[in-house]
Structure 1
Amino acid sequence: MRVHRSGTSLAGAALAALALLLPLTLSGTASAAQDDPGARQVPARGSAYMGMGVIPHDGQGGKPGGISIQATQTEGVDVSSHQGNVDWPRLWNSGVRWAYVKATEGTYYKNTYFTQQYNGSYNVGMIRGTYHFATPDTSTGAAQADYFVNNGGGWSKDGKTLPGALDIEWNPYGAACYGKTQSGMVAWIRDFVNRYKYRTGRDPVIYTATSWWKQCTGNYGGFATANPLWIARYATTVGELPAGWSYYTMWQYTSSGPIVGDHNHFNGDLSRVQALANG
């Protein structure tokens, strides 16, 4: 009988120890899943949008707005299929005067709300353009530039169309730099911008974040002479810019603005927005 009671006590002690260890084991598993991109839930292809990686990688701080180079800033928004049908009259009445609409991603996705968003912004009087979410691991820069131009990313000198924008940022589907070396990423971007200019006659805008640019291009400064900079930073000041650019053209300063989340400052008054549209 004493043996039986001793065995029961040992079994109980073992179960108690296991119960104490189990939360630690699960906690360690959860932590590993957070640190391992392959263990995270990967979004569906085509669902990426401008600024998707800013908060997870750069965070945010302070109230929207802040200090910038020009005293006058012109408010703008960027939208994708996540916004669905946009209330453009309400945005116009709130003071928004320009917009960028996601047109494409990779060579496999077209924004299903493109017509309502692109035509709707134009119809209320906004100056608008389109952007392409880059996936450098799926096809060449030139192939993606062609896909973009062929599916809404073109440009016309009508005073209402901004040059296309290349959204190049953290990879939501895998490794941050899409498996590219820094020199390989620079070559991919150059392939895209050169092809876009060949097709449209315009140098595309480059949208990025300084921390991503440093990590994935080695802080390359060679695009600043031709390509306007659209910088992403959700804070009260724009902070450090990528190498080569001494000023920004546009600044995405928040993802939690009114009506639609992504709000931007254009670095100048409306006449400067018009000047960019006119080339």
Structure 2
Amino acid sequence: MRTLISIVAIVAGMTPAPASAAPLPEGSADHFAGSQIRKHEGTGELRTTESPPTEGKVPGMDVSSHQGDVDWKSSWAKGARFAYVKATEGTHYRNPKFTQQYNGSYDVGMIRGAYHFALPDRSDGARQANFFVDNGGGWSPDGKTLPPALDMEYNPYGETCYKMDQAAMTAWVKAFSDTVFARTKRYPMIYTSTNWWNKCVGGSVKFGDDNPLWIAHYNSKLGPLPLGFDFHTIWQWQAAGLFPGDQNLFNGKFEQLQRIAAS
């Protein structure tokens, strides 16, 4: 039987909030971008015996509290020119190293952005988007800030798709995206893997029309993109390597990366 809240939400044309999930395990919090993709899909280390083609592309990195205080000068000297920094997860976690990582990357000259690790069964998309923007997930047209990013991947605590069907997950992502846009005037970049997205979100909405794609695929060749995307902006191609955290490539020249950060 539908609850009164669900009936009211449907009458009002709103998407009901996800059913409450079991309490989070003690000490759980910090899942970095790709942590669950690696668990379910592997890191591709045996396949990645060589780097992907880098001509005309910009190397970068992504970090979370797992990297601690990052030596940004060293990463810059090795060639990293952009970074994504984890800001939040669900509505319960803030990266304690966010300031050092977010400001440190900016201070050394990198173009940087913040990302949010989604837990769609814990609260609705709008609520998590507001928590993210309130805690580092903003954007400014300064030419050095990437669009906020939404990390959508396997459930760390249970069923792959968070016990949500594709319609519900699509609505969740759209609510998050629309809320971020309303507050920052930028649609968030979406981080995901093709396997997870095609299973849990599908292609009923073409998110690629508004949301840049940050694709995780650990190999020297990219492979197929998720449904609803015709182009990738960033490719997370290796779990560890030259820079702290994960290894990424921007699909374009540095001048194009600057334009994304400025408009």
Deviation of the 1:79 alpha carbon:
0.3
- Structure 1 CA distance for aligned equivalents of residues 169 and 97 of structure 2: 30
> Residues 64 and 153 (structure 1 numbering): CA distance in 2 closer, same or farther, change over 3 Å?
farther
Corresponding residue for residue 126 of structure 2 = 142
Corresponding residue for residue 3 of structure 1 = none
User: Does 1:97 find its partner at 2:97?
Assistant: no
User: Does 1:65 find its partner at 2:48?
Assistant: no
Deviation of the 1:64 alpha carbon:
5.2
Contact 1:254 1:261 in 2 (8 A): no
Q: 1:245 is matched by which residue type in structure 2?
A: F
Q: Indicate the percent of aligned positions where both proteins have the same amino acid.
A: 50
The alignment's TM-score, normalised by the length of structure 1, stands at 0.81
User: Does 1:210 find its partner at 2:194?
Assistant: yes
Structure 1 stretches of at least 4 aligned residues deviating more than 4 Å after TM superposition: none
> Residues 160 and 214 (structure 1 numbering): CA distance in 2 closer, same or farther, change over 3 Å?
same
- Structure 1 CA distance for aligned equivalents of residues 32 and 26 of structure 2: 11
User: Does 1:257 find its partner at 2:241?
Assistant: yes
Deviation of the 1:155 alpha carbon:
0.5
> Residues 43 and 258 (structure 1 numbering): CA distance in 2 closer, same or farther, change over 3 Å?
farther
User: Does 1:48 find its partner at 2:31?
Assistant: yes
The C-alpha deviation readout for 1:148-180, integer Å capped at 9, x for no partner, is: 000000011111111100000011122111111
Q: Which has the higher helix share?
A: 1
Corresponding residue for residue 268 of structure 1 = 252
- Structure 2 CA distance for aligned equivalents of residues 161 and 231 of structure 1: 19
User: Does 1:191 find its partner at 2:199?
Assistant: no
Instruction: For residue 268 of structure 1, give the secondary structure of its aligned residue in structure 2.
Output: coil
- Structure 2 CA distance for aligned equivalents of residues 105 and 129 of structure 1: 15
- Structure 2 CA distance for aligned equivalents of residues 67 and 183 of structure 1: 37
Instruction: For residue 240 of structure 1, give the secondary structure of its aligned residue in structure 2.
Output: coil
Contact 1:91 1:259 in 2 (8 A): yes
Q: 2:96 is matched by which residue type in structure 1?
A: T
Instruction: For residue 62 of structure 1, give the secondary structure of its aligned residue in structure 2.
Output: coil
- Structure 2 CA distance for aligned equivalents of residues 259 and 277 of structure 1: 22
Deviation of the 1:246 alpha carbon:
1.8
Q: C-alpha root-mean-square deviation of aligned residues, in Å? A: 1.5
The alignment's TM-score, normalised by the length of structure 2, stands at 0.86
Q: 2:242 is matched by which residue type in structure 1?
A: P
Deviation of the 1:220 alpha carbon:
4.1
The C-alpha deviation readout for 1:110-149, integer Å capped at 9, x for no partner, is: 0000010011101100000000000001101000000000
Q: 1:45 is matched by which residue type in structure 2?
A: S
Instruction: For residue 53 of structure 1, give the secondary structure of its aligned residue in structure 2.
Output: helix
Corresponding residue for residue 11 of structure 2 = none
- Structure 2 CA distance for aligned equivalents of residues 185 and 44 of structure 1: 27
Contact 1:165 1:205 in 2 (8 A): yes
Corresponding residue for residue 247 of structure 1 = 231
1:106-145 aligned at under 5 Å gives the runs 106-145=90-129
* Greater C-alpha radius of gyration: 1
Q: 2:186 is matched by which residue type in structure 1?
A: R
Contact 2:170 2:205 in 1 (8 A): no
Q: 1:266 is matched by which residue type in structure 2?
A: F
Contact 1:67 1:238 in 2 (8 A): no
Corresponding residue for residue 74 of structure 1 = 58
- Structure 2 CA distance for aligned equivalents of residues 81 and 193 of structure 1: 24
Contact 2:80 2:243 in 1 (8 A): no
The runs of 5 or more residues in structure 1 that have no matched partner are 1-41
The C-alpha deviation readout for 1:50-104, integer Å capped at 9, x for no partner, is: 0002222222122353258xx4110110000000000100000000000010000
